[in-house]
Each structure stands twice: as structure tokens, then as C-alpha cells.
Chains A and B, each alone.
Chain A
């Protein structure tokens, strides 16, 4: 197939991002169609690459033809391939969804917004596809800069939230760069596979311990692991709806992917599990993150802020799953990366629809919304059930694997944390449904014929279809989870 070159997955959005402002000089709405077209093309390329990986095994693509440790290499295996399809699929759906919100929240900035949108997607794809440590830093910074721009143009208070994000994000990326520097000084190479081989001789050296500590701390800032999550709620709440729908599901999951790649692919399991009690630390960090995120979510009065704390708790699931260091745990963690990205994009697209119609994202303003927006609220119900973990939605299966792994590893605190957060999710979502259906108000009977008095109606079609597609995808991933796990996830789990 002609779409097999992996580098096209990164180059197509990059060149399209340069062309977008030029198109915007002619007609603004052309940018929207161009972005949707480009992301559709990129999604097809990544699906094609995933099938090539499933058929032939890991793809190694050497840029410029230079052999591996001397040039940069793109490595696509099963974990990568799944992340690529996830990123391109989610950004395609969000780009279809975005036009109405960008028109109403950011008038006059459509062309540059879409250019930065494509650059953000380029950054994400570049991080996931590379096999070189320093190249990862460069694309991490591309994604970070685009994210800063996308967040700072939001509502009142967004620049301040973005400034705090800039400070913490730069600390995270700089710690990662320091860790890579330590690896380079003691091994001399930057290629991930090459460093993996060279590190076997350097077991127990102080340089490597410091390197792994700094890389994990840097990535923990980027993935908003509990005490370092302080930038996330403000930044994602005040951002425009299309930006938060793109960045919130993906940025944290990509940082988690990088952590999995570096801990198990570069440092190897004998290091991560044998030398330092790293997996113990990660398991406890996951437990603390779940409890922290769930308790803070209960205290919120703003719908979008509540969703941000749900994201923080979900990161805790995946980090805890990594910390269990056995096969069901890793399977659960990787499956949860997939599930959680889909659930989070669903949550934030629904929040964006509510913002578009009701002009607010406070919980109290959700009153009586449900009867007026039936399809959107059906999607919200399905997504909420998935977060709680009800079969047959996809959330149940990843939680099931995580609980299985926790029981096998004897980490009872993690089992308690998982069940506690399911309980908290039940409370949160039932509270939302209660406010939305207006069970507490006396004039519930009047809400049927007051539909014409207010301007709130069902979402516009370009926003509704992606949301319904996400809800259907949650059900499909749930029904077909056995196929996905046996064909993809089992092969993506690092050898333990």
C-alpha cells in the first residue's frame, strides 16, 4: 500500500499546518474543510500502518537512510501503532466537532487556530512514533508550545492558568532533557534500542539511577500525577472547548506512553523491577492519585473542573497498573490508555456542547438541560457508565484487568482505590443526572413546554455526530474487547 511510509504520518499534518494560514487569507471556512480532510488522510495512513505492524511485526524506518545509532529511527510496534490510531482518530473527530465552538468562542482567529491545531497533532504524532530520545524532546516541545497557545486564548483567566502551565511544563521537559543528558554521558548513544543494549552493563550505577529519577519526575509533571497536577484543572477548564477536547484526552496519555516506553523499553524490566523498588513507588503513586482525584472531584461546582479531576484520577489508574508489574496489570493499563482517551474526549465534547448552548459550564447551569438535549445526554449517560465501570462499556474491562492484576500482586490498597473511585464516579454522575433532569425542582412538568422560551435546543449536527460516534465507539470497544486484547494489547505488553 502506498501509505506505508511512517514518516508521512508526521509530515502530512506538518505541511498542512503551514498551508492553513495561506488558505485562511482566501476564505476562513476553507481552513475547517482542509483540516478535516488532512486529518482524515492521516487517520487512514495510521490505520494502514497499524495493519502493516499486525501483519509484519515491528517497523523500523531510518530517516534519510542513515543506519540506526548514527541517524534517527522511527520504530512502530503494537503499542505505538495503537497510540497512532488513537491520536489521529480522536483529533479527526474533534476537528469535525470544533467548527461551531471556534466560530462562537474565538471569532476572527479561525485560520491560526486551525494551524496550531494541526501543529499540536504533529507534536503528538512525532512523540509517539520516534525511536530516539532527543527527538522525543523536540516533539514534546512542539506539542507543549502548541498547547500553550491553544489554552491561553480561552475565557477570562486563561492566560494566568496558561502561565502556570508554562512554568510547570518547562520544568518537566527540562528534567526529561537532564535525564537524557545523563544517559548520553554514560552510554554515548541516543537511540532507544541501542541504549537498552548498552545499559545492561551499567546496572546499579548512580548516573542511571539519577537519570531514571529525573525522567520519571519530568514525565510525571507532564502527565499530572497527583501532587504535580496543580496546573491541570485551571488550564483545561479555562481553555476553549475545542482545545480542551483535543488536549485533555491526549497529552496525559502520551506522557504515560513515553513512561512505559522508557521504563520497560529503554531501561528494561530487570532495572525497573529488580534494582530499585520503582514499581512499588508507582503503585502507591497511583493509589494516592486515585484518592486525590476522586475526593477533589466531589468538591467541585463547575462541570468542566470536575471532569479535569476525573482525568487526574484516571491517570492514577494507569500509573498504578504499571506499578503492579505483572501481565494483567500491564494489559489493564494499556487497555485503559485506549479506553480513557475515548471516554475523556467524549466527556469534553459533551462539555463543549453544553458550553455552546447554555453558555456556561457550571453545574448549577445544567438545570433542566437533559430533556432539551436528549441525544447529547444519552451520550453522556453512556460515557458516565463507562467511567463507573459498568459492562458492556469499555471501562468495565480495563478495570477488571487492573483489579485482577492487583489481586495477583497483592496490592490490596490499589483494589480498594479502584472500587472507591467507582463509587465516587457513581455519586458524581448521578448528581449530574439529577441536576440535569431537574428532579429537585418543582416545575418539572413545565419544562416540557418551556422549550420554546429558551434558546437551548439540541446540539448542531457537526457537534452532535462526533459525540454520538464516540459513545458508539465506547460500546463497540466494549463488545469487541476480547478481539482487541488478544490481537493488539497482548502483543503490546512489554516482556516482563
Chain B
């Protein structure tokens, strides 16, 4: 059998996903939909972190900050003006923001663009740093963003946060944006840009000697990564319907980093699998800390036990799968058909021999 072309397979599988999302959105219960939403959101966030860290090799711990920018911009743009007057109790919202009201798409893009802009401004000086120093500096910037958000109540409502954001996020949005992110990042890394980025990852000096413009490529990768982090933040805001600066502590970055590393650094497939696995795992462990009755005995809930279990599982996973679940493996249609052939070939030969 001739191998069908990759494009056709992609289109067919996209249609299949389309049907799945349609069914899921209409048939599944709200709780499962929420977990799927979170999973897809983590795909967007994880793939974007993978672009800067996994493919470009620049250790960035600033994702929570970029998410925060995207989340706040989106929230402020989609909230109806009359409602903004109600929730901004400390100080009224500053002028242009208190009257603007845009559709969700515009708000998401605005969030992404603004956080990309922030990344560009930060990135030009900061990307000269290398390795762990870069990670620490980006972490520092993310924390500064969070502290600033905490201290400008006329724009962000300060520590009170923004509540009652319309719940626009559904599976169409999260899955659609996740697929779009994968499409863009995949396209980028298979282009000549991508080869330049990977050259930088492998050896910066060698890449520079080969004529790769380091600053340009690093900043580009960082900015695109932050754009999707911002969009992911917007999805986050409209999924949880309430945000405050505390939500964007560096633990948020840790979560995304865990997804990326568990999936396997530099593997989009790995990130996708790890993103869903991570959220399902976290949710399925919830019963552990809930109290329960065993006959006449009553076991009270134990807060914290879920995360203890989770961290033990995380440790076991990373100790036994040191390069992540998939290592650097990437899904491709070629691999898919070859492995199908491998499964079916032995059968054919045995049939042939009996005849």
C-alpha cells in the first residue's frame, strides 16, 4: 500500500478531533470538560515554553509573568463596562479601560500581543545572559510583573483581583488554540528559523560562527513564546473566571516546566501527552484527601495529601524517566505508518508460508 500523504492524514485527523470536541462539548459533564480545557490550555502554555527552552535552549522561567499580562488584558477587555464599575472597589478603573469592551478573540490577541511586547522589551537585554542566569533573570522579571500588578489597583484592582470574568473559554477555544499553537510552532521549527534555533541550542558559539544572528533568533523565539503564553493566560482568565496576582506566582511556571520536562524536552508530542496526563493525574488524586466513611468509621479530609502523593509520583517519574516520557521523540505520519506496517507485516509472512 502506498503511504498516504501527511497533509491528507492531518486533515482527516483534524476532522476527527473536530467531531470529538463536538461530542465532548455536548455530551461530557462539566467537570470532565473543565479538565480537558485545562489540559488543552497547558498544551498551549507547554508548547510555547518548549519553543524557547526545548528548541532554542534558552532557560526561561518567565512564563507566569507573561501569562499574567495576557490574563489581565483579556479580563479587562471582555468585562462589560457596568460590571467593571462594580468590582473596582479600591480605586475606579483608569479611563480608556473602563469603557472598552471587545469580543473574546480580540481580547485574546491583545493579551498575546501585549505580553509579546513585554517579552521583546525584556528579551533584548536579558537574552544575553546564559543558562541558569537567564532562568533566574526571567524569573525575576515574572515576579516583578506580578508585584506591579499587585500595586496598580486603578488598573488591576490590586490584590483583590478581578472576579466574575465571563466564562468564554470552552473546548472549541482551548483545543483550537492548542492546535493553532502546535501548527505555528511546528511550522517554525521545521523552517530555516527552526534550524537556526536548534543550532543555538546545540552550541551558541558554533551557531554564531555559522552566521546565525543570535540576538535576532533568540528574541524572536522568546517573543513568540510569550505571545502564546499571553494567549494561554487569557484562556486561563476566562476559564477560571477569577484572577488575582497570587495565581501567577512562580509555581505556575513550575507547573508548565514540569509538563514540558515530563513530556520530554524538545518534543511537542511529549508536551501534549504530558499536559493532559498532568491535569488528569492532579484531578484523579483529589479523592485521596477528601474525607470518606468506611462503615461506621469516619476519616476526616486531610488537606495536602493529594499534593504529597502527586509530588511522590512526580519524583518517581523523573527518577525513572530521566529524559521525560518521550525523550526527544516526535510524532510524524511516517513513523505512524511504519509502525503500523511493523505490526501487520509478521502476520502476512506467516500466512504466506502456510499457503
The finding on whether chains A and B are genuine partners in a shared complex, rather than unrelated, reads no
> Which residues on B are within 8 Å of A, measured CB to CB?
none
